[in-house]
Structure 1
Amino acid sequence: MPIKSRLSFFLIILFSLNVLACAQDKENYIKENYDKNEYRIKMRDGIHLYTIVYSPKDKSKKYPIILTRTPYSVGPYGEDKFARFLGPAEQFVKEGYIFVLQDVRGRFMSEGEFDNMRPHKPNKAKNETDESSDTYDTIEWLVKNIPNNNGKVGMWGNSYPGFYTIMGAIDAHPNLAAVSPQAPISDWFIGDDMHHNGAFSLQMSFNFFKNFGIPRKAPTTQWQRGAEYPSPDNYTFFLKHTPIKKLNENILKNSIPFWDSIMAHGNYDYFWQERSNLKHLKNIKPAVLIVGGWYDAEDLFGPLNIYKTIEKNDKDNQCRIVMGPWTHGSWIATKGDSLGDFYFGSNTADYYRQKILIPFFNYYLKGIGKSLTSDAYMFNTGENKFYQFNQWPPQNVTTSDLFLSPGGKLSFSYDYGSADFSEYISDPWNPVPYTSKFLDSRNFYNRTFMIEDQRYVSTRPDVLTFETEPLDTDFTIAGPIEATLYVSTSSTDADFVVKVIDVYPDDEPNPEPNPNQVEMGGYQRLVRAEIMRGKFRNSYENPAPFTPNKIEEVKIKLNDAFHTFRKGHKIMIQIHSSWFPFFDSNPQTFTDIYNANEKDFVKAQLKVYHSEEYQSKISFKIYGEKQ
């Protein structure tokens, strides 16, 4: 083996040993300072939920409880086996808390039947249950039976556990004083995880449910593993399994009940509507700290819309939100100093944990310190700086429109020209890739694609590009984004992807150091993007076909952003009709896509209009004075 290769191999081994040693040190600390006990807590309908309690060995004082309810296992199981991480951040094990972890109903060692995003029942009969009641019954038992608790309970959870956290805040137990739902799920059809505006999150959903969705035959401590199959790169694999029903026919073979349910409910019917929690977020009593990431491809919709819904329903609540430059859950343990090709100038996640998260729980559960002074702690991804606001979006925002114009121009006022539209041919068998990276199909997805350089698709003939002249001054967007497109198609259905991009000047210096060997001159940095399944343009409940070659309006709501386009940069808008395989390929024929056949997949001519009569535009909320 060459000397250089031997050195690299040695460094990898050394790094791995250091990681293992660090993990063992954390486990040893918990083992030395905490007692571990396991319980089966009885719910009001007689079902027992498996619950692990880590209590400080120091019994000289009382401690608050921090509860996590999860479908992902509370292991390691056994009172002689200890976890390596407790609480919403590593520092919590030294802060003095009782940590409680619970397998939710029907998962791992808990009894009962599991139901994905189990619907809330606002008017329960005596023994009826939902996630709110299971949380209530758990807290009732804990405060009465766990020694040395001070009667204050907090909850936290990330992603699916974030869903259980916000559900626990509905009709909350009076001892539940503070909750931190992090990357919480709110609606699996409109904007979180499994769908965006009705478009199916193919790669992520398949890789999640092929294991998670396997029915549990009996309580177990083990994860169940799905079918094994040949796995080329994700683009090739999912294209070979288009139409989407091939995944069931060739791999899943109807072994995943929830996958079958997805395939049977292609519209926003009762199945999805009853799983949305937004309509139940009323009269929330505990203090709330919502945490999300601007680059979270799974649950960006949830944190923003749960916060806005609580704020709308109760102006006097104690609800706060933090949004940082993070991917899904990366604020829990990483530094948060960089992502992809970009460095953020500081350890943003350390700041959040030390200045926001720990003070939040310490104040509400221990009475230590002061309440957080602001409602919204939002990171500006163009300035690399946290801002504090009394509300989100901020009060002093105005609306600014950018108009699509002939010749690929993007203008602050409509720029008349001879061309009434721009056009492209969309081929569902040659879809636009969502990332430039080729990954194994079993890889969940490329977690950095939401900040990725878009030059890899800018020259594709099926991607429209519009950009401004270099900006004369900084331009800061702060809040939701809406695209209003006037379009036509030669067929009866189409998807529309809208991307907002920050184009760097040609003379932008490369970063130093530059481990990725990135060329920053002309870099097209993705700021925000969203997809709309065209048949849902007027109604998620009642999809409708396009009339071939008829001009129709399509409005697309993009999630919020907080980003400063610097002076000398350009703003770019890209539009195309596929984003594969993160989202499935639309056959472009109005049909039940989940049961479509190959003959339904057709090329279509798409036109996006920018005439005096049909002025397609992107609307932003602008923070500060627009120049």
Structure 2
Amino acid sequence: VNGEPELHVFIMGPNVWREEHEWPLARTRYTPLYLSSSGHANTASGDGSLRWQPVRKSAPDTFTYDPRNPVPTAGGSTCCEPQILPPGPLDQTRVERRDDVLVYTSEPLPEEVEVTGPVRVILYVSTSTNDTDFTAKLVDVQPQGRPLLVTDGIQRLRYRLSLDRPVFVKRNTAYQISVDAGVTSYVFAPGHRIRLEVSSSNFPRFDRSLNTIRPNGEESKLTKARQTVLHEKGYPSAVVLPIIPRSTPRGGSANPERQQPRPQG
């Protein structure tokens, strides 16, 4: 209809509708928050952090993924059985107590940050197997410490280059991957912290990898995998946020390709 906006966006947090005229929004600033730690980002009690500037020195983080004991789903875009698998922005406290979940958290925000659009997580990873998964969750940590899910996603390594052409990885070799963590419109309020969880399962929301090269339906063997996430000079792992600025944020770019490099290898 002439004169009507092309789309309406519901912004969670303030819980308001806003009229827009294109998607993604032309004023989006794709802004990376870089992963950092001293090699002990496991659990919410670890030393993982998110920083607005690239990290030069940072020890890699490791964990063991056991498909017999996957990370249980806690909220998100689940379907059909809300009493069994509740959807939405659920508390992630229990998940973040697991040693196979890496947790990276920003400092408290001095002002609100609106994230509207596709969320991508660029990770530099290696694994002790020829195929596995890596998961990512964007989380809002409230001032009292309660972590609420915003959006999430997963990437199976064999499909890191294409869904049509599986390519297995070499063991214990670093690869760059891009995890599609979904689309959102959400405001992180002042005093809140932005958090990223990295693991290798989110089950049953996502099918679990058995860490083998055979399809799950044909496989009877489940294999543990030793996973590594690198974040240092040359391996700039980051969550790339589509920030809608009140003013231009630090390090932002109007071109998502600058901050979302193509996965390699």
What TM-score comes out, normalization by structure 2 length?
0.83
Whether 1:566 and 2:199 are equivalent positions in the alignment is no
Give the C-alpha shift of residue 372 in structure 1: 6.2
The answer to whether the 8 Å contact 1:445/1:582 transfers is no
1:594 alignment partner, SS class: helix
For 2:103, the aligned partner's letter is T
Superposed CA offset, 1:63-122 (max 9, x none): xxxxxxxxxxxxxxxxxxxxxxxxxxxxxxxxxxxxxxxxxxxxxxxxxxxxxxxxxxxx
The answer to whether the 8 Å contact 2:72/2:204 transfers is yes
Give the C-alpha shift of residue 591 in structure 1: 1.6
1:433 to 63, 68, 72: 72
Relative to structure 1, is the Cα distance of residues 445 and 582 closer, same or farther in structure 2, using a 3 angstrom cutoff? Answer: farther
* Partners of 1:448 and 1:548 in 2: CA distance: 36
The answer to whether the 8 Å contact 1:425/1:606 transfers is yes
Give the C-alpha shift of residue 613 in structure 1: 1.1
* Partners of 1:589 and 1:394 in 2: CA distance: 40
Q: How many residues are paired up?
A: 235
The answer to whether the 8 Å contact 1:405/1:416 transfers is no
**1:477 paired residue number:** 115
The answer to whether the 8 Å contact 1:450/1:528 transfers is no
Give the C-alpha shift of residue 397 in structure 1: 1.4
**1:394 paired residue number:** 25
Whether 1:373 and 2:12 are equivalent positions in the alignment is no
| Structure with more of its chain in helix, by fraction | 1
Give the C-alpha shift of residue 432 in structure 1: 0.4
Superposed CA offset, 1:21-62 (max 9, x none): xxxxxxxxxxxxxxxxxxxxxxxxxxxxxxxxxxxxxxxxxx
Q: Which runs of 4 or more aligned residues in structure 1 lie more than 6 Å from their structure 2 counterparts after TM superposition?
A: none
* Partners of 2:189 and 2:104 in 1: CA distance: 18
1:467 to 91, 101, 105: 105
For 1:433, the aligned partner's letter is P
1:608 to 220, 229, 235: 229
Give the C-alpha shift of residue 585 in structure 1: 2.1
The answer to whether the 8 Å contact 2:36/2:58 transfers is no
- 1:225-624 map, 5 Å: 373-406=4-37, 407-419=47-59, 421-435=60-74, 443=81, 448-506=86-144, 522-597=145-220, 599=221, 601-624=222-245
The answer to whether the 8 Å contact 2:57/2:233 transfers is no
CA RMSD of superposed structures (Å): 1.9
Superposed CA offset, 1:507-534 (max 9, x none): xxxxxxxxxxxxxxx2211111011122
Superposed CA offset, 1:455-485 (max 9, x none): 1100100000000000111111111111111
**1:53 paired residue number:** none
The answer to whether the 8 Å contact 1:493/1:588 transfers is yes
Give the C-alpha shift of residue 418 in structure 1: 4.5
Higher Rg: 1
* Partners of 2:58 and 2:114 in 1: CA distance: 32
**1:362 paired residue number:** none
Superposed CA offset, 1:2-34 (max 9, x none): xxxxxxxxxxxxxxxxxxxxxxxxxxxxxxxxx
What TM-score comes out, normalization by structure 1 length?
0.36
Relative to structure 1, is the Cα distance of residues 525 and 490 closer, same or farther in structure 2, using a 3 angstrom cutoff? Answer: same
Give the C-alpha shift of residue 538 in structure 1: 1.1
For 2:32, the aligned partner's letter is D
The structure, 1 or 2, with the larger RCO (C-alpha pairs under 8 Å, 6+ apart) is 2
1:583 alignment partner, SS class: coil
| Percent identity of equivalent pairs | 30
